[in-house]
């Protein structure tokens, strides 16, 4: 049997690591607490520059590497906290699933990148009554600690606090600290999460003291009576030295008012009834502060302070309750992430995340897939976030060994598993934000998970146990699934089966995959969450795109992903799966999610009568925190704005509101919309007064277009025709056609080429990430990217007023027996208006056609100068059939560049639905595309093939024209990069279709484009 090295011994979780305990604040006395200073208490933050030696394996370490005499003059410098791969050492590697070495647990490769860190610091005096503690918040993967030539200890568990007692080793004056970090350890087998493999000391390091006769640890619990009126506050203490201490407890409200002050001996548990406390919830995160003054013989030893939230979690029937309510989790999975620093995050960056989540109506976070830094939980307590605190445990790579539970069901690994949940619970136990302990992620199930759940329930019966890998919910208090589909044709689990069969509360710890352009179907899931009490919400995967910021020689920023560093195997851009882009720009999907989980839902009951229904989607609060602004628009012009009273509406209640529309003269062709804009009526921690929480928009009137006033004296058309081509010439325009191909080739107005290529039938769109599993069929079975048109007949007709060309053709793809029979027609009148219509009849061997088409429409090329865009339809952001809740009807203006959604990996983007006109303008002219029906449009400086071929945004090269897509239908987005594909109702199918529109160049200098578009 091969000898186990220290970093391969799964039986050794640590050496001399202190017992896990709560992270809390302690002060020398009352005055220090009140001024929030650490006077009289030693504290040293060791973040900053360290000496650093990087090695291929631990065995290459100098023999005296940890000794003061070791010469470090040739060592490098490195920043702590930091991942060494982001500072030029080792290799960047991203994988979702695979281990980067053979699976022979607990062994790891001999080539085991190792970093030796060294730091000196001064201690001016050592106090005998104090214990000196060295604390690491995160070191990946395992590490040894040395101080002043002495071995201090060893620890594993990369993303949880480790503490060591330095008391017997510290000296007055200069001290030398050495830390040796191993990239691979037996612990790595438990740390195979979907993220970049990054190593080193990546969280804070500090040295602090605690009085030896002070508190070592404590547990705070709150429980309500049956009516949720009064609550019992219970505090249990742990001392390392019991010596007749007295503890004085004081509970202060958020305004600093004292509710009580009582003293008990240190051996006693403290139990106190608090009458009618304010309850803590994500909607109303009210925090009290508990002061515990430790005294002995009349002398203050320390003052310990802890925020307290009164809340109670329990299961009743098949629902879990927070303060007696079966809440709905509107959640997000969140990794630690920085586009420059890797897994290094600051308190400020975490706070920015939480503020942004609150602004987007998110109320819950799953710490995927490891505990976060302690200040994350402080912030969630303060801002109000429900947290599933997940253990640093994932064994995903074992899934490919045909023995997924290889170590999960092996008692030899029991201590390694249980220690991880133990350290998580013991550190984070006093945070009211945490409602569930998660045993880990994607690691199968077995003996060791049973033992973890047993520990969690015995240690903390006040919270729930969660683990998705417990497929039968044997030990989990909630039944949890991932990416459970809404509909599918096989016999796998779907939401309807969950709704019917589950006997426990159900959540979806991941259910929509925010990769690239998507996900779709968010509303359908949320409707289910609202409809059934025991289906209690879910968490989007995930918050951030994990792109690595990179700058070209030209100064252009882009983001790398798996494979860009020569890493093999890798999962490519599967890490680009967030609702927040790497530069912190909210993606369209985050705006969509904000709307889907809005706190106030507005529906039209009798639009003509101005009757609307409001539904309060909050679990606890009324709508008293909001004000309602009602705005009335005529196209893009604000007609009137007024503030309206929101009816008193309790949590989960409904109310009716009636509005009076403005008394105005309606204009022909105009669209009239009413906006219900809900804003904060007071400042919150996370937003200013007046911040828009949600908006609902309704079209309350749409007038028929007015007849156009034309100059009947316009010149007659001139036709220049030969056997292959025909050119139609008017007073200030010309349009050229190819009669062989049945195509419009070019259109000139005022001798300026405006249309560089006329409408051509188009099936294809640049693949989005959610198309990844159908691309193989699209390309190699259906050849969707290889269309062919067979012209059967072309007829031309001309008179003094108009030119007409009618075309009949077959349109299909390579080697396909399914095809469209197309009839399309061009009409050019004497005023230069081009009318176009196309009708497609699904023909041939229909059963052989694909179940979904990317799109059905036409593509044109326009002059690149016409890059100012206006449209009437859904906006302002891109929208699709299954992702349009955040869009609303109106008239919008933008530019081609602004409409482009700059996804890290380029793909189809920028679609806008339900349009009846769109205009493209240069300085003084507008090319106006209009219809009496509705179409989708998108416009770009790139062809679909450009987007498809580009790996990164820097690969895109602008065309010297604009690509305009006018579609009768575009396929939905779905979430099938990891989840539900396009629902049947959102699929673009091989069916008959029709599309018609007209194109006319208008002189628009000083004119309102909306007014021009209102005319027939």
Report the run of H or E that residue 779 belongs to, with start and end: helix 775-780
Question: Residue 985: which residues within 8 A CB-CB, separation 6 or more?
Answer: none
Beta bridge pairs of residue 390? 438
906 backbone dihedrals φ, ψ, rounded to 5°: -55, 145
Tokens of 820: 């469209």
SS3 state of residue 604: strand
Work out the angle between the directed axes of helices 414-428 and 374-383 (0-180°, nearest 10): 50
For residue 476, which phi and psi values (nearest 5 degrees)? Answer: -80, 140
In whole angstroms, what is the distance from residue 49 CA to residue 72 CA?
14
H or E stretch at 434: strand 434-438
DSSP annotation of 194: S
- Which residue reads 């490769």 in tokens? 109
Residue 791: strand pairing partners? 809
Burial of 158 (0-12, 13-18, 19+ CB in 10 A): buried
Centre a 10 Å sphere on the Cβ of residue 344 and count the other Cβ atoms it contains: 23
- Taken as a whole, the chain contains a residue count of 1016
CA distance 387 to 383: 12
Give the active site residues: 442, 510
Residue 847 burial (CB count, 10 A):
8
598 SS3 class? coil
Interatomic CA distance for residues 580 and 515, integer angstroms: 10
By C-alpha distance, which of 505, 541, 495, 532 is closest to 365? 541
**Cα–Cα distance for residue pair 391/438, rounded to 1 Å:** 6
Which 8-state DSSP code applies to residue 850?
-
CA-nearest of 298, 287, 239 to 267 is 239
Q: Which of 973, 518, 966 is nearest to 774 (CA)?
A: 973
Residue 238 to residue 215: CA distance in whole angstroms: 6
Chain position carrying tokens 């309704």: 698
DSSP secondary structure letters along 631-668: EEEETTEEEEEEEEPPPP--TT-EEEEE-PPP--PPPT
Q: Do the strands 246-252 and 288-296 form a parallel or antiparallel pair, or are they unpaired?
A: antiparallel
> 719 has which bridge partners?
728
- C-alpha 139/C-alpha 136 separation (Å) is 7
Query: How far is CA 490 from each of CA 151, 457, 485, 487, 499, rounded to the nearest angstrom?
Result: 59, 37, 11, 9, 18
């Amino acid at each position: 049997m091969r000898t186990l090295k220290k970093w391969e011994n799964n039986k050794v979780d640590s050496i001399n690591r202190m017992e896990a305990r709560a992270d809390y604040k302690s002060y020398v006395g009352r005055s220090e607490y009140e001024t929030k200073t650490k006077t009289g208490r030693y504290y040293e933050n060791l973040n900053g520059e360290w000496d650093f030696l990087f090695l291929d394996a631990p065995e290459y370490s100098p023999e005296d590497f940890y000794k003061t005499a070791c010469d470090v003059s040739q060592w490098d410098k490195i920043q702590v906290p930091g991942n060494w791969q982001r500072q030029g050492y080792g290799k960047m590697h991203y994988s979702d699933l695979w281990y980067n070495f053979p699976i022979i647990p607990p062994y790891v490769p001999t080539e085991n990148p190792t970093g030796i860190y060294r730091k000196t610091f001064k201690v001016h005096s050592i106090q005998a009554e104090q214990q000196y503690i060295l604390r690491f918040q995160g070191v990946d993967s395992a590490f040894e600690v040395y101080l002043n030539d002495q071995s201090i200890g060893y620890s594993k568990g990369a993303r949880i606090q480790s503490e060591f007692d330095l008391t017997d080793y510290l000296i007055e004056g200069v001290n030398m600290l050495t830390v040796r970090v191993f990239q691979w350890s037996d612990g790595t087998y438990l740390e195979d999460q979907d993220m970049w493999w990054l190593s080193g000391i990546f969280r804070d390091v500090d040295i602090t003291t605690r009085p030896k006769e002070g508190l070592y640890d404590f547990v705070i619990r709150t429980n309500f009576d049956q009516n949720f009126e009064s609550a019992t506050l219970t505090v249990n203490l742990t001392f390392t030295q019991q010596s007749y201490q007295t503890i004085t407890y004081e509970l202060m409200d958020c305004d600093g008012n004292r509710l009580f002050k009582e003293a008990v001996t240190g051996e006693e548990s403290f139990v106190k009834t608090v009458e009618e406390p304010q309850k803590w919830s994500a909607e109303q995160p009210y925090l009290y502060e508990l002061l515990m003054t430790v005294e002995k013989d009349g002398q203050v030893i320390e003052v310990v302070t802890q925020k307290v939230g009164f809340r109670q979690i329990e299961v009743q029937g098949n629902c879990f309750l927070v303060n007696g309510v079966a809440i709905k989790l509107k959640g997000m999975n969140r990794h630690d992430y920085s586009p420059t620093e890797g897994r290094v995050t600051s308190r400020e960056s975490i706070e920015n995340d939480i503020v942004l989540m609150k602004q987007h109506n998110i109320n819950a976070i799953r710490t995927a897939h490891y505990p976060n830094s302690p200040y994350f939980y402080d912030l969630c307590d303060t801002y109000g976030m429900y947290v599933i605190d997940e253990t640093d445990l994932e064994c995903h790579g074992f899934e490919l060994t045909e023995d997924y539970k290889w170590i999960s069901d092996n008692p030899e690994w029991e201590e390694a598993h249980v220690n991880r949940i133990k350290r998580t619970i013991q550190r984070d136990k006093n945070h009211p934000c945490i409602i569930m302990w998660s045993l880990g992620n994607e690691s199968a199930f077995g003996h060791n998970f049973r033992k973890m759940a047993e520990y969690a329930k015995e240690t903390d019966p006040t919270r729930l146990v969660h683990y998705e890998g417990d497929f039968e919910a044997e030990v989990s208090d909630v039944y949890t699934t991932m990416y459970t589909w809404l509909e599918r044709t096989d016999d796998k689990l779907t939401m309807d089966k969950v709704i019917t069969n589950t006997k426990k509360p159900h959540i979806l710890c991941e259910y929509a995959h925010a990769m690239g352009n998507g996900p779709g179907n968010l509303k359908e899931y949320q409707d289910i969450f609202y409809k059934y009490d025991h289906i209690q919400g879910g968490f989007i995967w995930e918050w951030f795109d994990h792109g690595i910021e990179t700058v070209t020689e030209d100064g252009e920023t882009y983001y790398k992903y798996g494979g860009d560093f020569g890493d093999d195997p890798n999962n490519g851009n599967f890490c680009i799966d967030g609702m927040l882009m790497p530069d912190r720009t909210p993606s369209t999907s985050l705006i969509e999610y904000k709307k889907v989980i809005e706190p106030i839902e507005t529906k039209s009951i009798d639009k003509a009568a101005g009757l609307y229904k409001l539904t309060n989607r909050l679990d606890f609060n009324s709508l008293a925190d909001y004000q309602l602004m009602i705005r009335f628009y005529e196209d893009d012009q604000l007609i009137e704005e007024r503030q309206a009273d929101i009816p008193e509406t309790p949590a989960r209640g409904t109310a009716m509101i009636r509005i009076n529309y403005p008394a105005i003269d309606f204009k022909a062709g105009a669209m009239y919309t009413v906006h219900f804009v809900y804003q904060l009526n007071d400042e919150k921690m996370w937003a200013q007064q007046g911040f828009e929480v949600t908006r609902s928009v309704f079209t309350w009137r749409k007038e028929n277009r007015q007849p156009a006033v034309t100059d009947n004296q316009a010149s007659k058309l001139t036709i220049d025709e030969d056997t292959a081509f025909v050119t139609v010439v008017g007073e200030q325009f010309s349009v050229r056609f190819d009669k062989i191909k049945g195509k419009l080739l070019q259109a000139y107005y005022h001798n300026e080429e405006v249309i560089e290529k006329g409408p051509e039938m188009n099936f294809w769109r640049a693949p989005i990430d959610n198309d990844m599993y159908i691309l193989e069929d699209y390309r190699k079975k259906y050849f969707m990217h290889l269309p062919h048109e067979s012209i059967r007949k072309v007829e031309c007709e001309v008179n003094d007023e108009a030119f007409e060309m009618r075309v009949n053709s077959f349109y299909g793809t390579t080697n396909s027996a399914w095809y469209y029979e197309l009839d399309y027609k061009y009409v050019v009148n004497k005023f230069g208006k081009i009318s176009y219509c196309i009708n497609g009849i699904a023909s041939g061997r229909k059963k052989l056609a694909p179940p979904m088409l990317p799109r059905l429409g036409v593509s044109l090329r326009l002059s690149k100068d016409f890059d100012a865009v206006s449209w009437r339809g859904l906006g302002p952001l891109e929208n699709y059939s299954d992702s349009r809740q955040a869009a609303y009807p109106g008239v919008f203006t933008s530019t081609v560049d602004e409409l482009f959604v700059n996804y890290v990996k380029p793909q189809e983007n920028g679609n806008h639905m339900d349009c009846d006109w769109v205009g493209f303008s240069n300085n003084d002219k507008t090319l106006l595309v209009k219809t009496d029906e509705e179409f989708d449009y998108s416009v770009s400086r790139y062809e679909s093939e450009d987007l498809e071929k580009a790996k990164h945004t820097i690969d895109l090269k602008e065309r010297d024209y604009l690509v305009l897509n006018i579609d009768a239908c575009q396929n939905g987005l779905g979430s099938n990069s990891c989840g539900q594909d396009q629902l049947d109702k959102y699929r673009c199918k091989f069916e008959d279709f029709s599309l018609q529109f007209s194109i006319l160049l208008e002189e628009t200098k000083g004119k309102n484009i909306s007014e021009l578009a209102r005319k027939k």
